[in-house]
Amino acid sequence: MTAAASVEAARRRTFAIISHPDAGKTTLTEKFLLYGGALTVGAGAVKARGGRRSATSDWMELEQQRGISITSTVLQFPYRGHVVNLLDTPGHRDFSEDTYRVLAAADAAVMVLDAAKGIEPQTLKLFEVCRARGLPLITFVNKWDRPGRDALELLDEITAQIGVEPAPVTWPVGRAGDFRGVVDRRGGRFVRFTRTARGATEAPEEIVDAERAASEEGEAWATASDELALLAEVGQSFDPELFRAGEASPTFFGSALTNFGVRLLLDAVVDLAPSPSPRLDEEGKPRPLDAAFSGFVFKVQANMDRAHRDRVAYLRVCSGRFHRGMVVTHAQTHRPFATKYATSVFGQERATVEEAYPGDVVGLVNAADVRVGDTLYLDEHVVYPGIPSFAPEHFAVARVRDSGRFKQFRTGIAQLDEEGVVQVLRHPDLGDQAPVLAAVGPMQFDVAVHRLTNEFGAPVELNPASWSVARRTDALSAAVLRPMRGVDVYARADGTLLALFESRYWLDRLAADQPDLTLEPLVAGTMAE
Ligand code: G4P
């Protein structure tokens, strides 16, 4: 007999690691795998760096050239009787829509900060998105083995910058650069760590009592004790309710490189992060975990494997049991969809997946008509809310360099639009001759140009456009807006009309002067545009 989906769901923890580039996301991912028994560090795992490790997560040439991970994959490993699903988010400097979509499939996130840098501005938006969505956030202050900032000061910065209250669960003994261990505030135990060669194996831990700690750690222990007394006084302690609401973030200190604090962090993911819960459908009705299979697509990726040109839709299971070969319904087209080619993706390696439960991610190969946000289900009809796209802030006009390649250009543009690599906007008069590519972060353009050139054989010219703000509008308002200066109206493939403004000031003035015009923000409440 197979277990009920709700029982399997209770064992699952599905989360993403988000960080600034270089804060240590890749290293931490590797160390999670090490502690999950899924990896021997150094054997070639998550990211190619300086040719030392082989690429698993990086599949595109562009990624390899830059040594960054642009696309995301899913890593699944067992840990303490649980099944951990780690969704990899793109590791580049820009905030991109891709990251946002991955977060839509996660039940929690681990935010990694570099102890010497704290919150860095480029990725602040990412953290704000988690905060705005109420996604439970666990904070890991990394690189404590290196000289860095003061722990209390870092906590203040988290509060001030993201508006989430950090609740230290562990507290470092020894200032940044002189890391001895952590006090686990849940029971007051001092956990002392020992380094291993190159951090290739788990860091041995020793529980040391206060008296011994005072005599052996001296000044470092005295400072930590004072700080702990201070924290107790201001009442900064972990509250599970506030964590689940995304308002307080249990905070851990450690060093991914030396494995200090990694086990405590992974334990926290299992012990504190929520397991998958019934997902709300479009009407706000929860679909019970034990209902028939259902899931939604949070990412579509084409041509991952040059050898077989294909298209993979990543689906997060929301209810029921998925088993390979089942024929499900694609809610948007009402068509049957055969799941014969279902895979799990571990880095670049694909393995056929036989079954999956709520919280798991399944890669559906050759999912031709399936788009980001779509729902698949068995038996009882369900449609999950789509994943809203972000208000683009960067715009560029695309033209094919060689008119003989126009067909390829058109195909490529449509494909990138469907995958959500960029948003494609068309002018009623120009259509596909000069579509506007719109993005949240400029890196999305690099990816689009690279793929159009290399994958579709359509080299393009991109000219930055002067618009900076987009608003959703309707046909009536569009007719009023079109003749005006400083604004133009373009359409998305789904027919949504977007008014593009050159300046925020002009938009505000127009909205004030003509309040009847339809000018709606694109993702209400999540982005400070
Ligand atoms: P990212 O994915 O967030 O971009 O960061 P990544 O893990 O690639 O780490 C960036 C750099 O920081 C790497 O150094 C890595 O070794 C280092 N690092 C990660 N965690 C720690 C830590 O806890 N302590 C210290 N001291 N360093 C850490 P690199 O020089 O760029 O690469 P490598 O050649 O050392 O691998």
pLDDT at 529 over 60: no
Instruction: Tell me, in angstroms, the distance from the centre of ligand 1 to residue 27's CA.
Output: 6
Instruction: Tell me, in angstroms, the distance from the centre of ligand 1 to residue 49's CA.
Output: 10
CB-ligand 1 contact for 255 (6 Å cutoff): yes
Distance CA(395)–CA(385), nearest Å, equals 27
Based on the domain organization, do 258 and 285 belong to the same domain? Answer: no
Based on the domain organization, do 327 and 440 belong to the same domain? Answer: no
The closest-lying atom of ligand 1 relative to the alpha carbon of residue 23 is: 3
Residue 7 forms part of a structural domain:
no
Token digits of residue 131 = 């905060």
Q: Specify the pLDDT at position 39.
A: 59
| Confidence band of 95 (pLDDT split at 50, 70, 90) | low
Judging by DSSP bridges, how do beta strands 12-19 and 108-114 pair with one another?
parallel
Average pLDDT over residues 400-408: 94
| Confidence band of 521 (pLDDT split at 50, 70, 90) | confident
Residue 30 forms part of a structural domain:
yes
The closest-lying atom of ligand 1 relative to the alpha carbon of residue 19 is: 3
Higher pLDDT, 309 or 297: 297
| Confidence band of 43 (pLDDT split at 50, 70, 90) | very low
Instruction: Tell me, in angstroms, the distance from the centre of ligand 1 to residue 142's CA.
Output: 10
Q: Specify the pLDDT at position 178.
A: 92
Average pLDDT over residues 163-178: 93
Q: Specify the pLDDT at position 525.
A: 33
The closest-lying atom of ligand 1 relative to the alpha carbon of residue 69 is: 2
Based on the domain organization, do 363 and 504 belong to the same domain? Answer: no
Window from 281-290, 368-377, 401-410 with minimum mean pLDDT: 368-377
Average pLDDT, the chain: 85
CATH label of the domain that carries residue 241: 3.40.50.300
CB-ligand 1 contact for 148 (6 Å cutoff): no
CB-ligand 1 contact for 29 (6 Å cutoff): no
Instruction: Tell me, in angstroms, the distance from the centre of ligand 1 to residue 105's CA.
Output: 26
CB-ligand 1 contact for 89 (6 Å cutoff): no
pLDDT at 350 over 70: no
pLDDT at 198 over 60: yes
CB-ligand 1 contact for 21 (6 Å cutoff): yes
Q: In what order do the strands lie in the sheet with 137-142?
A: 74-79, 82-87, 12-19, 108-114, 137-142, 248-253, 165-168
Residue 194 forms part of a structural domain:
no
If DSSP codes are grouped into helix, strand and coil, which group holds residue 145?
coil
Domain final residue, candidates 347, 377, 407: 377
Q: Specify the pLDDT at position 327.
A: 94
DSSP code string of 443-473: HHHHHHHHHHHHTSS--EEEEE-S--EEEEE
Element (H, E) at 272: helix 262-272
CB contact set of 429 (below 8 Å; sequence gap of 6+): none
Average pLDDT over residues 127-144: 89
**Burial class (CB within 10 angstroms; exposed 0-12, middle 13-18, buried 19+) of 428:** exposed
The closest-lying atom of ligand 1 relative to the alpha carbon of residue 258 is: 23
Q: Specify the pLDDT at position 346.
A: 52
CB-ligand 1 contact for 24 (6 Å cutoff): yes
Domain boundaries, position 134: 12-70+80-170+237-272
Q: Specify the pLDDT at position 303.
A: 61
Judging by DSSP bridges, how do beta strands 342-346 and 349-352 pair with one another?
antiparallel
Pocket test for ligand 1, best of 17, 20, 22, 58 (most atoms within 8 A of CB): 22
Q: Specify the pLDDT at position 99.
A: 79
| Confidence band of 57 (pLDDT split at 50, 70, 90) | very low
The closest-lying atom of ligand 1 relative to the alpha carbon of residue 142 is: 23
Average pLDDT over residues 485-513: 92
Q: Specify the pLDDT at position 183.
A: 95
Per DSSP, 305 falls in state: B
Higher pLDDT, 264 or 53: 264
Based on the domain organization, do 325 and 432 belong to the same domain? Answer: no
CB-ligand 1 contact for 6 (6 Å cutoff): no
| pLDDT, tens digit (0-9, with 9 covering 90-100), for 274-293 | 999 999 999 999 999 999 99
Average pLDDT over residues 325-351: 79
Domain final residue, candidates 345, 377, 409: 377
Nearest to 337 by CA among 295, 367, 372: 367
Q: What percent of the chain has pLDDT over 70?
A: 87
Window from 78-87, 118-127, 228-237 with minimum mean pLDDT: 118-127
Window from 46-50, 482-486, 521-525 with minimum mean pLDDT: 46-50
Residue 159 forms part of a structural domain:
yes
Nearest to 302 by CA among 412, 429, 422, 465: 412
| pLDDT, tens digit (0-9, with 9 covering 90-100), for 295-304 | 999 988 776 5
Based on the domain organization, do 309 and 248 belong to the same domain? Answer: no
Based on the domain organization, do 60 and 121 belong to the same domain? Answer: yes
Residue 347 forms part of a structural domain:
yes
| Confidence band of 305 (pLDDT split at 50, 70, 90) | low
Pocket test for ligand 1, best of 20, 27, 92 (most atoms within 8 A of CB): 27
| Confidence band of 391 (pLDDT split at 50, 70, 90) | confident
The one-letter amino acid code at 121 reads P
Higher pLDDT, 199 or 255: 255
Residue 503 forms part of a structural domain:
yes
Distance CA(270)–CA(264), nearest Å, equals 10
Based on the domain organization, do 265 and 294 belong to the same domain? Answer: no
Average pLDDT over residues 196-208: 87
Instruction: Tell me, in angstroms, the distance from the centre of ligand 1 to residue 266's CA.
Output: 19
Based on the domain organization, do 325 and 403 belong to the same domain? Answer: no
Pocket test for ligand 1, best of 49, 257, 262 (most atoms within 8 A of CB): 257
CB-ligand 1 contact for 91 (6 Å cutoff): yes
CB-ligand 1 contact for 199 (6 Å cutoff): no
Residue 199 forms part of a structural domain:
no
| pLDDT, tens digit (0-9, with 9 covering 90-100), for 250-276 | 999 999 999 999 999 999 999 999 999
pLDDT at 58 over 50: no
What pTM does this model have? 0.83
Based on the domain organization, do 440 and 503 belong to the same domain? Answer: yes
Based on the domain organization, do 266 and 343 belong to the same domain? Answer: no
pLDDT at 526 over 70: no
Based on the domain organization, do 106 and 244 belong to the same domain? Answer: yes
Q: By alpha-carbon position, which residue is closest to atom 10 of ligand 1? A: 22
Residue 442 forms part of a structural domain:
yes
Q: Specify the pLDDT at position 123.
A: 72
pLDDT at 65 over 70: no
Q: Specify the pLDDT at position 91.
A: 56
CATH label of the domain that carries residue 504: 3.30.70.3280
Q: Which of 57-61, 63-67, 194-198 has the highest mean pLDDT?
A: 194-198
| Confidence band of 94 (pLDDT split at 50, 70, 90) | low
Domains contained in the chain, number = 3
Distance CA(156)–CA(466), nearest Å, equals 38
Window from 10-14, 309-313, 491-495, 500-504 with minimum mean pLDDT: 309-313
Window from 45-59, 125-139, 239-253, 297-311 with minimum mean pLDDT: 45-59
Domain final residue, candidates 228, 257, 272: 272
Q: By alpha-carbon position, which residue is closest to atom 33 of ligand 1? A: 49
Q: Specify the pLDDT at position 304.
A: 57
Average pLDDT over residues 494-498: 90
Based on the domain organization, do 369 and 495 belong to the same domain? Answer: no
Higher pLDDT, 136 or 392: 136
